[in-house]
Chain A
Amino acid sequence: MTWHVSDDLREGYLGGGLDPALAMSVETHLARCAACRAAVPYEPEWLEESWRRLEARLVAPRPGPAERLLARCGVPAHLARLLMATPTLSRAWLAAVGAALAFAVLAARVDPAFVPAFLVAAPVLPPAGIALAYGPRVDPAYELLAATPLAGARLLLTRAAAVLSTAVVLAGAASPLLPAPPWLCAAWLLPSLAVTLACLALSRLVRVPLAALAVTGLWLAVAGAAGFAGDWVSAFAPAAQIGYAAAAAVLLLRLRAARTRGETDTG
């Protein structure tokens, strides 16, 4: 032991004014030298408080990169937490969606006759993701979470939002690569929204996977009918878009009304 904590150094340490490296070496010394330790006054409360602060720093959450990004974009931390635990937002799901979209874009670039395939497929992604996001079969922690106040419709809604935004971001990134006019490239957006909201509304009546299957079928029927009529673009034309927007608005209002009535759960 070559030195002891001088009075000056002790004052500085207690006052918190030392630079971190010096404070650390004072601490290391205090841990080994009973004489210097005895000269440091402490109050039990202060000790307790510092211990709590230390514990808070050691035992703390580890938000992942995506969660940090959301938080930086202004999403409240607890909501970011909720969104990130969505089972479908796994790497496998993201890879599958990315691959499907890339394949559709590639096909369309090889032969523009495949442009409708992309536009029809994009709105199918959110309900498929929602079906895989919440339920006893797909969520390993379902039984445990189902007994919490946020379980049921509220949790499903949050996860659906996470699924929808990921699907929109991915499809949005892919669609400028389509060999089609810009308005047509974005024509999947409103159908996606309407289909997602319809899925959520229907899930109040039937199980989520069934609801997803039903709205997917409905959407494919609408798009297919236009295709059979020989004019697939009509399923994405302005008149149809107004229809999707109106449907989305009505469904959104209904969901909000159900929420204010406090119906948080269907089963």
Chain B
Amino acid sequence: MIRIKDLTKTYGRRAALDGLTLTLGVGVTGLLGPNGAGKTTLLRCLATTLAPDGGRIDAYGLDPSHPVQRTALRRRLGYLPQDPGFYPHFTAFDLVDYVAVLKELTDARQRHAEVRRVLAEVGLTDRAGTKVRRLSGGMRQRLALAQALLGDPDLLILDEPTVGLDPEQRMSFRALVSRLGESRTVVLSTHQTEDVAALCERVVVLRQGGVVFDGTPGALAAVAEGRVWLSDAAPEVSTLFWRTADGRYRTLGEPPPAANPAAPGVEDGYLMLLGEAA
């Protein structure tokens, strides 16, 4: 169980986190929010790479502001940063192996077996000997995911994990993460509302450093209940509309004339929520 209470972090005058309170349990939680909402800042605080200015985090009874407990928490988490940097002259195997050393896997045989396991999990076994600088963007992203899986952590923190993945890779990512989420706490941030709809049993929407929604994807879609419309003619002036593949117009907000109500999706709910909060 992870309890985050009144977390604040300011950069200059700007509050990246503004008294954020959140509790995380077993399962996959998705963080949604516009750029600059504070998702990365929150995940960095959880991953112990950034010290918050105020508030507290209690993860499995451990307090990351305390040096010894911080190290103990680091033994239990896996972290995929938003822009993971690498040593380009390392091979994929060497890079993950290096992180494994830093995760205190000192026995070489066990460590190498674990490295092979996580590389296989992300489908990079046949690239193990390739230098990082020769890997494509999607492969690097999977490599970064592989190192986060080392040692089977209780808490997986994934900051925009699906960036750079093609649809097929995104599918296998979802399969992997949903399996992990059965017994672990997985928290991921994303811009893809489809990821959230497909993967997360819980969505938290952040805006300006605070939580503006916390519930199931279904509940987020329901925010736009009765506000999604399909019509044959283009709406005159409307908040938001676009032409769908079948030639009809989909409107979010006030109904255009002669429109039929349509079932809202997670994206509709998300847009509605941000539109209303503005």
Alpha-carbon separation in the docked complex, A145 to B102 (Å): 8
Question: B47, A147: Cβ atoms under 8 Å?
Answer: yes
Select A145's contact among B91, B99, B157, beta carbons within 8 Å: B99
Select A62's contact among B49, B85, B93, beta carbons within 8 Å: B93
Select B129's contact among A59, A140, A143, A147, beta carbons within 8 Å: A59
Question: B85, A142: Cβ atoms under 8 Å?
Answer: yes
Select A55's contact among B90, B108, B116, B157, beta carbons within 8 Å: B116
Q: Is B244 positioned at the interface, with any CB of A under 8 Å from its CB?
A: no
Q: Is A32 positioned at the interface, with any CB of B under 8 Å from its CB?
A: no
Question: B74, A151: Cβ atoms under 8 Å?
Answer: yes
Min CB gap A266→B, angstroms? 8
Q: Is B173 positioned at the interface, with any CB of A under 8 Å from its CB?
A: no
Given contacts A59-B119, A143-B49, A147-B77, contact A85 B93 (CB under 8 A): no
Chain B residues near A155 (CB-CB < 8 A)? 102
Q: How many chain B residues touch A (Cβ–Cβ < 8 Å)?
A: 44
Q: Is A78 positioned at the interface, with any CB of B under 8 Å from its CB?
A: yes
Chain B residues near A144 (CB-CB < 8 A)? 79, 81, 84-86, 99, 144, 147
Q: Is A10 positioned at the interface, with any CB of B under 8 Å from its CB?
A: no
Chain B residues near A143 (CB-CB < 8 A)? 44, 49, 81, 83-85
Which of B9-17, B63-71, B222-230, B264-272 forms contacts with chain A?
A: B63-71
Q: Is A109 positioned at the interface, with any CB of B under 8 Å from its CB?
A: no
Chain B residues near A61 (CB-CB < 8 A)? 91, 93-94, 97, 112
Question: B101, A60: Cβ atoms under 8 Å?
Answer: no
Select A148's contact among B44, B97, B102, beta carbons within 8 Å: B102
Most buried by A among B68, B74, B77, B79: B74
Question: B47, A59: Cβ atoms under 8 Å?
Answer: no
Number of chain A interface residues as a range = 20 to 34
Min CB gap B66→A, angstroms? 10
Select B86's contact among A140, A147, A263, beta carbons within 8 Å: A140
Select A149's contact among B87, B97, B102, B157, beta carbons within 8 Å: B102
Min CB gap B154→A, angstroms? 14
Min CB gap B12→A, angstroms? 18
Chain A residues near B102 (CB-CB < 8 A)? 82, 145, 148-151, 155
Question: A141, B93: Cβ atoms under 8 Å?
Answer: no
Question: A141, B84: Cβ atoms under 8 Å?
Answer: yes
Nearest CB in chain A to that of B84: its residue: A144
Interface string of A70-105 (1 = CB under 8 A from B): 000000111001100101000000000000000000
Min CB gap B104→A, angstroms? 6
Q: Is A230 positioned at the interface, with any CB of B under 8 Å from its CB?
A: no
Q: Is B213 positioned at the interface, with any CB of A under 8 Å from its CB?
A: no
Alpha-carbon separation in the docked complex, A85 to B30 (Å): 34
Question: A149, B116: Cβ atoms under 8 Å?
Answer: no
Chain B residues near A148 (CB-CB < 8 A)? 74, 99, 102-103
Q: Could you show 8 A-B contacts with beta carbons less than 8 Å apart?
A: A56-B116, A87-B87, A141-B85, A143-B84, A144-B79, A144-B81, A263-B67, A264-B71
List 4 tightest A-B contacts by C-beta distance, closest first: A140-B85, A148-B102, A147-B79, A146-B49
